Amino acid sequence: MITMSPPRETIKRCLFAVLALGLLVTAGCIGNEDAGPADSEAAADGTADEAALEAMTATGDAHDHANPVQHDVAYNAELLDHLSFVDEGASGTHALALAGDTLFASSTLQGDHGFYAVDVSSPDDMQVVGEWHDERALGGDRSIAASDDGEWVVLGTEGNTENDEAGVRLFDTSDRTDPQQVAFLPLDGGAHTVDIKSFDGATYVFALNYGVQILEIVDTPTGTDLVKVGHYGYAGEEMSDVPDYDNPGNYPSWGLRSAYAHDMKPIDDPEAGPLLYVAYAYQGMHVLDVSEPSAPELVSRWTPGGEASPWYTHTVDAEWIDGERTIVVGSEVFEDRHNETPSPVWILDGSDLSDPTLESTWTNPAGTGSQELLFSAHFFRIDQGRLHLSHYHAGSWVIDISSAEQRADPSVVSAYLPNEDTGYRPGTECCFGFNLGGIPVTMDAVGDGDVTYAADVQTGLYAIETTAS
């Protein structure tokens, strides 16, 4: 096991950086006002209008990022249903976890911090069947995860000034209508992202906090509890290696790099057994053997390259597709040096886990630069050979990676800009020099066949149907 123990002063600086990113989620703001109108021909009629793909990332002086009417754009997609969860203001919906016919949606705005259990057995008629709330802010990013059967939900709370209980909460959701918190494990600095998976009869929770904290759900004489059983950290290059780390657009990654990974995906691999894929900020993507959760072992590390490197490795997912182990890695792009650089998603061949190899790189079809987060890719999930991708102000995308040919040259199946007008308009200044604002700001997406569920932090939860085969 590779461990890391950053000095206390470094930890403090890293915490500030993490909180900065957490505040971005709750700011509901708009930055640069330099984008233009969507193509009037690219209306949300579900047709395969090629112009719609470029309109997904419209730029120009006449465009108002905060006006949902100017974001009525779809490509091979149509809206099935929408839930805002709030009567006014920003929705705060930012993270999703799907378990069968239940979608758990995490919210962190408007004094409405917590999550909703949504019945999606009929995607065109989503129904809230249960909920849990806390007046204190959650912070975090992918702050919710559910067990495969939906019996457990994990909620990460991040260390910020509004919450003195930062850490991991465990809920019994066997009764979807009445979620019950059964355990809480405090973590100094909280958990930015969480996940949950069962291996060999035991259920483990993975929380990103100075590396990956590995927790086990155990029964005790006094009830259910979360017990720390393992940890993985990576002591790599120095923080000061990040270009222009004094620049506000780079500073958060500087802190995160030392102490935090960002995202992870646990998988019970049919050949390799229990694995954990970790998106480890500027340290690249790590593959871990977690067959012994108390002593995770590094199997391999893949670091994206190219002229624009180093990249902030933000998201990872993996799945066997058409008989091949496929790994997808994404970069959240916010540094000033990447303003005009499209946010990349890398498709890897994981046949040899000791040496994953790049098959292709996908970016938005218009080649629109990330513009300090505005058009960056964010979270994604693989489902049945399709990548369901959230892309901040560029909405929700479905990418075909179902075959070797498609993985070598991924194509867009559908795309949709969440644009319900709830009456809310984001502010004009925010975000530590970032440009995280407008409507939509799509932060998460999860797929179920032809349906994509998308979380827009400004306007709520969307059920979107892909209309093309």
Give the pLDDT of the chain (469 residues) as one tens digit per residue. 333 333 333 333 333 333 333 434 333 332 333 333 333 333 444 444 678 888 898 877 788 888 888 899 999 999 999 999 988 888 889 999 999 999 999 988 655 689 999 999 999 999 999 999 987 767 667 789 999 999 999 999 876 546 667 899 999 999 999 999 999 999 887 888 999 999 999 999 999 988 899 999 999 999 999 999 999 987 654 444 444 444 444 444 445 554 568 899 999 999 999 999 999 988 899 999 999 999 999 999 999 988 888 888 999 999 999 999 999 999 998 888 888 999 999 999 999 999 999 999 999 999 999 988 889 999 999 999 999 999 999 999 999 999 999 999 999 999 999 999 998 888 755 555 667 778 999 999 999 999 999 999 999 999 999 998 6
pLDDT of residue 274: 99
Q: Is residue 14 part of a domain?
A: no
Which strands make up the sheet holding 144-146, listed edge to edge? 144-146, 152-157, 167-172, 180-186
Q: Which two tokens stand for residue 106?
A: 């995490």
The confidence score (pLDDT) of residue 428 equals 58
The amino acid present at 453, given as its one-letter code, is Y
Domain assignment present for 216: yes
Does a structural domain hold residue 20? no
Res 55: pLDDT: 87
Give me the domain span that covers residue 330.
31-466
Sheet strands (E) in 27-92: 74-75, 77-83
Q: Is residue 6 part of a domain?
A: no
Structure confidence at residue 54 (pLDDT): 86
Residue 130 near residue 159, CB atoms below 8 Å: no
pLDDT the model gives residue 412: 96
Cα(258)–Cα(260) distance, integer angstroms: 6
pLDDT value for 235: 64
| Count: domains in the chain | 1
Task: Give the global pTM.
Answer: 0.87
Rounded CA separation 449/385 (Å): 10
In whole angstroms, give the CA distance from residue 58 to residue 440. Answer: 13
| Residue 18 falls inside a structural domain | no
The CATH number that applies at residue 140 is: 2.130.10.10
| CA-based torsion, 421, 423, 427, 428: positive or negative | positive
Decide if 26 is inside a domain. Answer: no
What are 244's two structure tokens? 């222009």
pLDDT value of position 6: 37
Q: What is the pLDDT of residue 137?
A: 66
| pLDDT value for 29 | 34
| Residue 1: inside a domain | no
pLDDT at position 356 is 98
Query: Does residue 9 belong to any structural domain of this protein?
Result: no
Please tell me the predicted confidence (pLDDT) of residue 393. 92
